[in-house]
Structure 1
Amino acid sequence: MTVKAGVVGATGYAGAELVRLLAGHPQAELAAISSVSFTGQKLSEVYPAYYHICDKECGTQEEVVEQSDVIFAALPHGLSQEMAKTCYDAGKVFIDLGADFRLESEDDYKTWYGGEYVHKELHDMAVYALPELFRENIRGKKLIANPGCYTTAVPLALAPALKNGLIEPEGIIADCKSGVTGAGRKPTQNTHYPELNEGFSAYKVASHRHTPEMEQSLSHVAGQPVHLTFVPHLLPVNRGILATCYAKLCCDASLEEIWRVYEAQYQNEPFIRLLPEGRVADIKNVRYSNYCDISLHMDPRTHTFIAISAIDNMVKGAAGQAIQNMNLAFGLEETTGLLLTPPAF
């Protein structure tokens, strides 16, 4: 089986990463790409690294939909809803890397993104696709909301502890760091090299729009409302998400007992690497891969549990996870095209 894949927004960072990964997928063919800014130009002219690997010209969104079985939309929020309707009507699989279909509550979407649900029936059909937590909801679906980077790293770090009642659902702190590619390709003042280099700062403190999405996932896992304080930081590196999550223990379990709970939930997950005691998750060890490394820690003085996760924000936090979801939607082996070894140095 060969899946014809199209990428809308192929010249953005997430779109370009989709092209890179699809080029090595044995059961997918890159059928068409589009870009508003670079229509008519070859992708290899925008990204010289793709010379003789992807020399396709950037066409229109209509051409992508027409020529593809699955359409990946790597677009800013607010731009995917009409395209999703077009793809659904055409019987195509639509995987949205933006935020338009991630939140179950339209009120939350209005509050955090300032938009409305244009086609409410599509939102009822959409599935939130974090495979390690909601895999069975994804198989065979045609409208898939692909989680982002923070919203992957934090739930994976905390899910087993919440599911097994080991930590309190209130008072959780997610202290996260991101590589600058998470801000997208369009330059801004704070991502300009002289501003970013030699610096390290927080942004959107306790007001980042990924907050309700993380709470939504964790509440489903816990079976009760979960609230957290989320503070993201911008690292002067290209790639990576490091999520350091703090929560109060609600039992007297030892770190070894908690580790066994995590092992029981994640032992068959091909992309989660639960690190042995004494090791600490590090973004350099997951670069260019679809892995999520998790390390577990405890502060016995304050009865605080600490879970640290590391992912590549462009792969597991975006394009790699989208391809993982494509594999599930089309009944392919979930790891196909994604067993990439991170560089050792």
Structure 2
Amino acid sequence: MEKIHAFTNHLPVQVAFGEDKIQELEKIITTNGWERTFILIDRGLMEIIPQVAEATRNLHAVISEKEPGEPTISNVEEIAQQLKASGADVIVAIGGGSVMDSAKAARLVVSQNQSLREFIQSEQTVRNPEIALITVPTTAGTGSEVSGGAVITDEERNVKVGIADSLLRAQHAIVDPVLTYNLPRTITAYTGIDAVAQAIAAVMSNVRTPIGNAIALEAIRLASDALIKVVEDGTDYEARSNMACASLMAGLSMNIANCTAEHSIGQALGGMYHLPHGLTIGLVLAETMERERKHIPELMERIADALGLKKMEVRMVRVPSVPFVNL
């Protein structure tokens, strides 16, 4: 039996999970007394997801649409300028992990009163932001809605830079599975494997805790069945809901523990070859698990149990084609 080492745990994000929870956005803003709203959203999302347009209609917010793709330092600087000029006291990030990470980083730039590149190169501590953050994920995988981390591409050096601090976390997260119903198959697969990897890493990490393990193993159990179903059939709304919950729980478990080699290697590949985060994580996950297997065999058995590997055959699922990468 493994010894339980001392640990601390503080996850202050207030979570609202469930179908149509997006309609509580205005109430959350008014209840907290926030008066000037800045919305950062994936371009075109208002038209694709009518529930988002309805929930934001009466906010009288400044709206900034993020272009598709992984967030870069220059993207963040531009968003930070817009955020500062708006005078907002709350930022609402609606979209995938790239939007939520961009919002965290832009808020950091405004709070620190320095460029993101200057902050990364310095050893300054993160100040408590004066601008509140509400995250509304429209993908099921990154867990960024509850995490204190952000991954930003440094386009000058072709590397992905990770920023992490508890003060980067949102004050509120609205996780509404309905917002993921129209998610394309490719993004469903890439973000979904990211959630699985985060949960598995939380169990493998050398800073794992019993609380993190409990949340992570349930996330793995939910995703092991739901991810296959939503990749095969995006209209399986029960599976969509389970994946949204798995993503949320994986993000929580990652914050309690940490990621492992799969994220370090995946981020390096993504920065070098400009590939999606979830794809690169998926490409190296099996190898990193094999590396850890001999060190933590009992924990790997628990991961296997959560994946259902003792009661079902391994299934091969045709997923969207992966762009060729010459490594």
Into which bin does the TM-score normalised by the smaller protein fall?
0.3 to 0.5
- Point out the structure with the larger helix share: 2
TM-score under structure 2 length normalisation: 0.35
Q: Which structure is higher in strand share?
A: 1
